[in-house]
Chain A
Amino acid sequence: MNSEAKKTLRRLVIAVPLMFAFGFALVPLYDVFCEVTGINGKVFQSENADKLVIEEGRPLGLQFISTNNENMPWTFEPSEKVMTISTGKYYTATFYVKNTTDKKMTAQAVPSVAPSNAAAHLKKLECFCFEQQELAPGEEALLPVKLLVSNELPEAIENIILSYTIFDITEYDDEALAHHDHKDHHEMEH
């Protein structure tokens, strides 16, 4: 094989691990893309409270939906199913949760917003979805979410649905999950 062929070969062999790495690079790229564009209905923890402009705006319907993922036995429901809020103001909503089993369990709630173009305008200062919930057998709790819908919300949107799906993560490697969460939220803060 001549040296030209070796050069071609070398380039192609390098391209393979690079494309393999690119596949993995799609994971953070996807998160960044969703965050920047606010699509996918993902809601991230907002920057510090004092940076947000608080000025009462127009009225808006806010609906809450709770879903239990597959065999998750807990009771999980919003304290109020519908709220009429005003943009540009803080509200705190709560979700009632109860561990109905006789085992200690850990849960993680995953949020989603519809319509998806509202997600970028929904600012959460606190949310139970930023943490894991560990409940003893029979224990119950009220989980708060403190949020504000910015005044820049597109006019066409008159209702926002905030939905949470609660997952049983008792059997997951806590270390790995905790780490993942931690990292995610730090990224959001910057």
Chain B
Amino acid sequence: MSAVIENHHDDHHHGPAKGLTRWLYTTNHKDIGTLYLWFSFAMFLIGGAMAMVIRAELFQPGMQIVEPEFYNQMITLHGLIMIFGGVMPAFVGLANWLVPMMIGAPDMALPRMNNLSFWILPFAFFILLSSLFMEGGAPNFGWTFYAPLSTTYAPPSVTFFIFSVHIMGASSIMGAINVVVTIMNMRAPGVTLMKMPLFVWSWLITAYLLIAVMPVLAGAVTMMLMDIHFGTSFFNAAGGGDPVLFQHIFWFFGHPEVYIMILPAFGIVSHIIETFSRKQLFGYSSMVWAMLSIAILSFVVWAHHMFTVGLPLAAELFFMWATMLIAVPTGVKVFNWIATMFKGSITFETPMLFAIAFVVLFTMGGFSGLMLAITPADFQYHDTYFVVAHFHYVLVPGAIFSIMAAVYYWIPKWCGNMYDERLGKLHFWLSFIGVNVTFFPQHFIGLAGMPRRYPDYALQFADWNMVSTVGAFLFGVSQILFLFIVVKTVMGGKKATDQVWEGARGLEWTVASPAPYHTFTTPPKVD
């Protein structure tokens, strides 16, 4: 963010280089964090624009705006871009900015690899987006790219899609390795594992999940590549392969992946609720154990995404119970957040509003998840808008609200200026209303039987779809306000104190605001 440059204008010794090369060659964790965050914001807007196309088409029954083929490309790219371009890079950006400052380290452990892991990302998404202009169009098989839809019946651009997923995977793996090496080896003396801030804990666990499953995703797309171009039959029944196998491999990656997108949010929300409740977090160690249990359980629940493929009864029961078991550690976390707020001196600044909305709305998404976990019921819900409502509740007011909360919470530390509280609150309320108006009705139309991934629908779903579209545009437009607020804060505003928030604890609040280009070059003393 440019304010950082200006503040260190005359500090030739330790300040950043000038101009574009600063960003190209930088190995500074704060610069790279900033790059990640801006990149994810750009992807959020592109993926959001695609969501607007989808909702505009669904405003009324019948085909209005786009061709069905293009609609399929939109749902595919919307999913891929929001997951791999929006949420994941945003969390990596936050990890870059915050993990070294929270553990009292001068930088990430592998600064050059850090630069590489960011700079390959724009290429991955350039390749993915360029497929829109290729013959046959962009990938159109949904973000889950089930074979044989993504192999035998895929457009030629699928090969570009495969390579872009390879690059995204390489970027995530490098980022994750960097985080683990940093956390395991660069903590300031006195910062023991069980004294680490929860955001650091959440990222340590997330990084291990990434290292475990991103290579499996790379394997899955490599098998697709081989089936398409080299005559193998991993997923081709005629050659002895099995399309159901694809779903097993994909969801072995895919389920831990959904926790990769929510664990860092747990860390963020814990910090914010603690700060604005002006109390110590309730149940720190149970929070850590809950995240660990969720991470471990995430490896044994994948088949709940595929109850309807014809699993044997024993497997259906196993995956149902294992999935429901996850509600226990998740419930512990929600309990702890509420217990932290209980009898606290709460104030409702923008980050706190987003954090409280997170707790409420994420829990709702969790409950619809429990409904989906019930095998016999899932046969009814499978591939309906109920599923769409469920995962958008955990991802939008879940993951994305936590990212927005984090931006409001830490931006004074990043650029030294307070954001406009009035605008921040306006942004919160518009987003909160928008998100619920968009996704709550999707529960109803899903239960009534509207299937997902179709550009058209039966007349009885018309009213709620119209409501949903209105909400989507409200939510979409309010993100332009978010962009405006962030830019305005970076450009100037009320100067922030070093501690920024009255109740803020942790090493990152002990350094100046804005955080100097280099922090903790000598390790801080921690008791």
- Does B bind A? yes
A–B Cβ pairs within 8 angstroms, 6 of them: A8-B185, A19-B211, A23-B249, A24-B219, A167-B238, A177-B238
Q: Complex Cα distance A20/B232, Å? A: 18
Majority SS at the chain A contact face: helix
- Whether A176 lies near B233 (C-beta < 8 A) is yes
- Whether A24 lies near B223 (C-beta < 8 A) is yes
Q: Complex Cα distance A56/B253, Å? A: 48
Range for the number of chain A residues in contact with chain B: 35 or more
Binary interface encoding of chain B residues 226-238 relative to chain A, with 1 for a CB under 8 A from any of its CBs, else 0: 0000011110011
Q: Would you list the 10 A-B pairs with minimal beta carbon distance, nearest first? A: A23-B219, A167-B238, A173-B231, A19-B215, A5-B185, A20-B215, A23-B216, A176-B231, A39-B312, A12-B177
- Whether A15 lies near B212 (C-beta < 8 A) is yes
Q: Does B248 contact A (CB under 8 A)?
A: yes
Q: Does A156 contact B (CB under 8 A)?
A: no
- Whether A17 lies near B110 (C-beta < 8 A) is no
- Whether B218 lies near A20 (C-beta < 8 A) is yes
- Whether A22 lies near B216 (C-beta < 8 A) is yes
Q: Complex Cα distance A78/B25, Å? A: 69
- Whether B185 lies near A4 (C-beta < 8 A) is yes
Q: Does A100 contact B (CB under 8 A)?
A: no
Interface residues in B, total, Cβ within 8 A:
39
Instruction: Point out which of A2, A19, A22 has the most chain B C-beta atoms below 10 A from its C-beta.
Output: A19
Q: Which residues of A contact B231 (CB under 8 A)?
A: 172-173, 176-177
- Whether B216 lies near A20 (C-beta < 8 A) is yes
Binds A, one of B239-247, B326-334, B344-352, B481-489: B239-247
Interface residues of A in 1-41 (CB under 8 A from B): 1-2, 4-5, 8-9, 12-13, 15-24, 26-27, 30, 37, 39-41
Q: Does A162 contact B (CB under 8 A)?
A: no
Q: Complex Cα distance A122/B185, Å? A: 58
Q: Does A117 contact B (CB under 8 A)?
A: yes
Q: Which residues of B contact A158 (CB under 8 A)?
A: none
Q: Does A65 contact B (CB under 8 A)?
A: no
- Whether B219 lies near A41 (C-beta < 8 A) is no
Question: B interface vs A, CB < 8 Å?
Answer: 109-110, 173, 177, 180-181, 184-186, 211-220, 223, 231-234, 237-240, 242, 244-245, 248-249, 252-253, 310-312, 315
Majority SS at the chain B contact face: helix
- Whether A181 lies near B181 (C-beta < 8 A) is no
Q: Complex Cα distance A176/B110, Å? A: 43
B393 nearest CB across to chain A (Å): 30
Q: Which residues of B contact A161 (CB under 8 A)?
A: none
Binary interface encoding of chain A residues 127-154 relative to chain B, with 1 for a CB under 8 A from any of its CBs, else 0: 0000000000000000000000000000
- Whether B238 lies near A26 (C-beta < 8 A) is no
- Whether B213 lies near A108 (C-beta < 8 A) is no
- Whether B211 lies near A15 (C-beta < 8 A) is yes
Q: Does A165 contact B (CB under 8 A)?
A: yes
A103 nearest CB across to chain B (Å): 17
Q: Which residues of B contact A184 (CB under 8 A)?
A: 240
- Whether A169 lies near B312 (C-beta < 8 A) is no
Q: Does A110 contact B (CB under 8 A)?
A: yes
**CB closest chain-A residue, reference B312:** A39
A58 nearest CB across to chain B (Å): 23
With beta carbons under 8 angstroms apart, the residue of B185, B211, B245 that contacts A2 is: B185
- Whether B239 lies near A177 (C-beta < 8 A) is yes
Q: Complex Cα distance A116/B216, Å? A: 28
Contacts A19-B212, A20-B216, A24-B223 given; does A8 touch B180 at CB 8 Å: yes
- Whether A176 lies near B219 (C-beta < 8 A) is no
Contacts A1-B109, A19-B211 given; does A110 touch B310 at CB 8 Å: no
B39 nearest CB across to chain A (Å): 23
With beta carbons under 8 angstroms apart, the residue of B185, B215, B312 that contacts A16 is: B215
Contacts A20-B216, A23-B218, A176-B233 given; does A9 touch B181 at CB 8 Å: yes
**CB closest chain-B residue, reference A177:** B239
Q: Does A180 contact B (CB under 8 A)?
A: yes
A68 nearest CB across to chain B (Å): 12
**CB closest chain-A residue, reference B311:** A39
- Whether B244 lies near A40 (C-beta < 8 A) is yes
* 17 more A-B residue pairs beyond the given contacts A12-B180, A27-B223, with a C-beta to C-beta distance below 8 A: A1-B110, A8-B184, A16-B173, A16-B211, A17-B215, A19-B212, A21-B219, A23-B218, A23-B219, A23-B223, A23-B253, A24-B223, A40-B310, A116-B312, A172-B239, A177-B239, A180-B239
